[in-house]
A and B are shown apart, each in its own frame.
Chain A
Amino acid sequence: MSTLEVTFVTSDRTVWSGQAAQVVVPAVDGSIGILPQMQPTLAVLGEGKVRIIDHDGSVAERAVQGGFVSVDSDVVTIGVDDAERLDSDH
C-alpha cells in the first residue's frame, strides 16, 4: 500500500512531517481529500482545518487560514501562514 509523504510548514517552522494515509485540506472552493496516487494538484487554501490521518487512524488537526497545498507523486506539501493546534488533537 502506498503512502503519502507529508510536509506541513508555516513561514517560520515545520509543523508536521512524515507519512500519512490521507490528508484533508480546506481549499478555497471546498474541502479536498488527498489519497495516495492522486493526480498532481496545486490548490489555494481558505480558512478551515487541515487533517492528517495516519495509517492507524490517528488524526492530527490544525486550524489554518490561507496557504497552499501541492501534491505531486504522493509528496504532499502544505504551506500556510500560521497553523493553530486544536484542542481535540492527540
Chain B
Amino acid sequence: MGAQQREYKQRIGSAQGMKKIFKAKEMVAATRIAKAHARVLATTPYADALTQAIGAVATHSQEAEHPFLQADRAQSGRVAILLITADRGMTGSYSHNAIRNAEELANTLREEGKTPVLYVVGRKGEAYFRFRNRPPHRSWAPYSEDTLGSLGQEIARDLTGDLLSEDPASHLDELYLVGTRFLSRFKQVVRASRLVPMQLVDGQNHDSGSFPLYEFAPDAETTLQELIPRYVQSRIVNLLMQSMASEHAATQRAMQSATDNAQTQIDKFTRLANTARQAEITQEITEIVGGADSLSGSGRTER
C-alpha cells in the first residue's frame, strides 16, 4: 500500500473517532436539556406566587417602601452586572454571546458615567476577564448543575448585601442580570435586564377604595422586607437554571454540527483514498503493459 493511501486511512480513522465522541456528547446534551428545562418550569409557581404577593403589598399599602424600589439609588456610581457563562467549552457561541452582551452593557454604563462592577458565574467568563487583566469583582467558578439552587441563594445573598451596604466602596446603585433565556430547544436569547431598582407593574390602578382591606402580618413594611430579597433570589435562581438549559441546548447544536463536519471529513478522505488507490492500480497496469510492449518490441520471441 502506498504512503499516500496510508496517510488518508489514518485521517479517516481519527475523524471517525472524533465523530463518535461528538455524537456521544450531543446525545448527552440532548437528554440534559429536557431535565434542565423541567427544573426551570418547576421554579415558576414560586416566582408567580412571589410576584403576586409583592403586587398585593404595593396595591394595598401606600407606605410600601424598600431600598430596592427607590427609582433613584445613585450613591456610589457602582453598577453590578451579574454575568452567567458556562464552565465548560464545546458549547458553541454560548459563553461568547453572553460575555459580548455584558461588555456592551458595561460600555453603555461607562458612557453614562457609571462604574460597572462584574460578578461572574462560570469559568469561561472568569477566564475571559482575567486574561484581559480586569478580573471580575467576584466570581463563582466552577459550579455544578446539581447545586444551582444553593449557588443562586449564595449569589443573591452577596448581591443583596452589597446593594444595601452603606459603605461607598461596596455599595451598588443598580443590578443588571446578563444571562441566556431558554425560549425553546431551538431558540435561546441572551438578554440583559435590570433587576434593581425594580419597578412594580401590577396592571391595577391604585384606587384604594375599591379593594377589600388587606391584612398584613406583622405589617406591610416587614412583609415587603421579607418578600423583596426572596424575589431577587428567585429571579437569580431562575436565570441560572435557564442559562443551564440554554448551555445544554447550545452544546447539542455545536456537537451536532461537529458530528456533521466529521462526517464530511470522512467522506472527503474516503474519496481521496479511493482516488489514490485507483491511481496506484492504474500505474501498476501501465508499468506492466509498458514492460510487455518493450519486450515485444525488442524482437525476442521467448520470454
Which residues in A have some Cβ–Cβ distance to B below 8 Å?
7, 9-14, 27-29, 32, 39-44, 66, 68, 70, 72, 77, 79
Residues of B within 8 Å of A, CB-based: how many?
28
For A32, the closest partner residue in chain B by CB is B217
Contact check, A77 vs B42: say whether CB atoms are below 8 A apart. no
Contact of A29 among B60, B218, B227 (CB under 8 A): B218
For residue B230, CB closer than 8 A to chain A, the reply is yes
Q: A interface, by DSSP: helix, strand, loop or mixed?
A: strand
B62 to chain A, nearest CB (A): 15
How far is A70 from B223 in the complex, measured between Cα atoms in Å?
11
Contact check, A68 vs B212: say whether CB atoms are below 8 A apart. no
Chain B residues within an 8 Å CB radius of A9: 45-46, 49
Contact check, A70 vs B49: say whether CB atoms are below 8 A apart. yes
How far is A70 from B53 in the complex, measured between Cα atoms in Å?
7
Chain A residues within an 8 Å CB radius of B217: 27-29, 32, 41-44
Contact check, A44 vs B56: say whether CB atoms are below 8 A apart. no
Contact check, A44 vs B218: say whether CB atoms are below 8 A apart. yes
6 contacts between A and B (CB under 8 A): A7-B49, A13-B42, A29-B217, A40-B56, A70-B52, A79-B49
For residue B276, CB closer than 8 A to chain A, the reply is no
A74 to chain B, nearest CB (A): 13
How far is A12 from B44 in the complex, measured between Cα atoms in Å?
8
Contact check, A11 vs B57: say whether CB atoms are below 8 A apart. no
Q: Known contacts A39-B213, A41-B216, A42-B216; decide if A11 and B53 are in contact (CB<8 Å).
A: no
How far is A7 from B49 in the complex, measured between Cα atoms in Å?
9
Chain A residues within an 8 Å CB radius of B91: none
How far is A13 from B52 in the complex, measured between Cα atoms in Å?
17
B298 to chain A, nearest CB (A): 92
How far is A66 from B223 in the complex, measured between Cα atoms in Å?
12
A60 to chain B, nearest CB (A): 17
How far is A11 from B218 in the complex, measured between Cα atoms in Å?
23
Contact check, B218 vs A12: say whether CB atoms are below 8 A apart. no
